[in-house]
């Protein structure tokens, strides 16, 4: 199998939640990628597991010559890579290794620990396998981790050149609109809360989160140009009373389910798919879209769903196997959870799973 085919297969398995912990990521992703990139993963003088750094053990050291580390790789469980940057860089400081890789399988961050600036400044590149086509992901992994490039020094030199490149900031600037679009399309909680709070400070009343999320999702469309009620009255525009009904039909795997609101639709999808596969909810909980910046949307405890809001911990629904799903979510987030659930189950939203809202 080629490295690109391997990366494509890994991405598919990641989307299905097949790598629930560090050990699974190490065995099923990291070692597999290294093998395809020319590393002899059976030779522990070349790919040294649990390398002692003085401050702790790094998961892998890529060595050249044998037993002399050139690259350290730190592996974390899904969604936890960003919590370990300091630890990984400290390992490098105590061993003199010039290049560090931090990964949770989905994201791969490449650091030059000896450079100046904050931890973020020392990151040369962050690869997200869900955000890049497999061809591009393959090119990045090869550029930094190919055995021939590491042993020749080309990988390190390339990283140093890219770090000093004046184009890096401009490249990031180009991506701003795309990143913004993805945030608003997913009903990002922080954006919704910021805008809702700003409205409350001006109007004295906090708007419904669904209204805010729908406004954000519609940015750039004609619907955003709807005038205010006062302006609308002057222009003869009539505003429909109340909000549209959220009830409808859910079509899934040849069956039709009626629901009263978006919460019902989300819970139906999660419960029905969990009946088919006991590991389904565990894999869903590991999906990057199943967690916000501070909390999880699918978890075993109410505290995980609402770590900072004990007043909301009753806003949940029970799922098979002792799992819980948060229900204090805007409707766009609920649809995001339906989409990720279909993805984890290997189904297609809009074809195998059709929801009307």
Shared domain for 144 and 220, answered yes or no, is no
Shared domain for 161 and 135, answered yes or no, is yes
State the average pLDDT for the chain: 86
Domain boundary among 145, 165, 185: 165
CATH number, domain at 122? 3.90.1570
Q: Is the dihedral of CA 206, 209, 211, 212 positive or negative?
A: positive
**pLDDT tens digits, one per residue of 9-28:** 999 999 888 998 999 999 99
Lowest mean pLDDT, pick from 159-163, 230-234, 338-342: 230-234
Shared domain for 153 and 176, answered yes or no, is no
End-to-end Cα distance, the chain = 42
Domain boundary among 135, 150, 165: 165
CA distance 306 to 341: 21
Shared domain for 29 and 98, answered yes or no, is yes
Q: How many domains does the chain have?
A: 3
Shared domain for 201 and 290, answered yes or no, is no
**pLDDT tens digits, one per residue of 90-125:** 888 888 899 999 999 999 999 999 887 777 888 999
Domain span holding position 179: 167-226
Shared domain for 71 and 33, answered yes or no, is yes
Residue 242 placed within a domain:
no
Please count the CA atoms within 13 angstroms of the CA of 176 that sit on its side-chain side: 6
Query: What pTM was computed for the model?
Result: 0.64
């Amino acid at each position: 199998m080629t490295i690109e085919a391997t990366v494509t297969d890994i991405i598919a398995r990641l989307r299905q939640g097949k790598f629930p912990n560090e050990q699974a990521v190490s065995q099923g992703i990291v070692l597999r990628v290294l093998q395809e990139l020319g590393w002899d993963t059976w030779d522990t003088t070349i790919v040294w597991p649990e390398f002692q750094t003085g401050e702790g053990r790094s998961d892998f050291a890529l060595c050249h010559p044998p037993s002399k580390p050139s690259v350290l790789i730190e592996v974390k469980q899904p969604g936890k890579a960003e919590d370990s940057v300091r630890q990984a860089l400290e390992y490098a400081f105590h061993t003199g290794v010039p290049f560090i890789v931090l990964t949770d399988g989905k994201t791969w961050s490449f650091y030059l620990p000896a450079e100046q600036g904050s931890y973020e400044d020392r990151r040369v590149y962050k690869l997200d396998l869900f955000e890049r086509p497999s061809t591009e992901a393959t090119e990045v992994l090869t550029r930094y981790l190919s055995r021939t490039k590491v042993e020749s020094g080309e990988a390190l030199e390339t990283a140093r050149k890219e770090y000093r490149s004046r184009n890096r900031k401009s490249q990031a600037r180009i991506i701003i609109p795309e990143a913004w679009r993805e945030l608003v399309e997913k009903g990002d909680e922080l954006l919704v809360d910021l805008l809702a709070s700003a409205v409350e400070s001006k109007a004295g009343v906090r708007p419904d989160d669904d209204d805010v999320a729908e406004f954000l999702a519609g940015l750039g469309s004609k619907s955003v140009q709807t005038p205010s009620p006062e302006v609308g009255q002057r222009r003869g525009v009539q505003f429909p009373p109340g909000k549209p009904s959220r009830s409808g039909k859910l079509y899934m795997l040849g069956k039709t389910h009626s629901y009263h609101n978006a919460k019902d639709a989300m819970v139906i999808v999660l419960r029905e798919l969990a009946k088919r596969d006991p590991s389904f909810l565990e894999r869903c909980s590991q999906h990057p879209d199943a967690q916000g910046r501070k909390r999880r949307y699918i978890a075993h405890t109410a505290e995980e769903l609402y770590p900072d809001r004990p007043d909301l911990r009753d806003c949940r629904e029970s799922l098979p196997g002792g799992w819980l799903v948060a229900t204090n979510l805007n409707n766009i987030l609920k649809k995001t959870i339906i989409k990720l659930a279909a993805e984890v189950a290997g189904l297609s939203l809009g074809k195998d799973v059709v929801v009307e809202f």
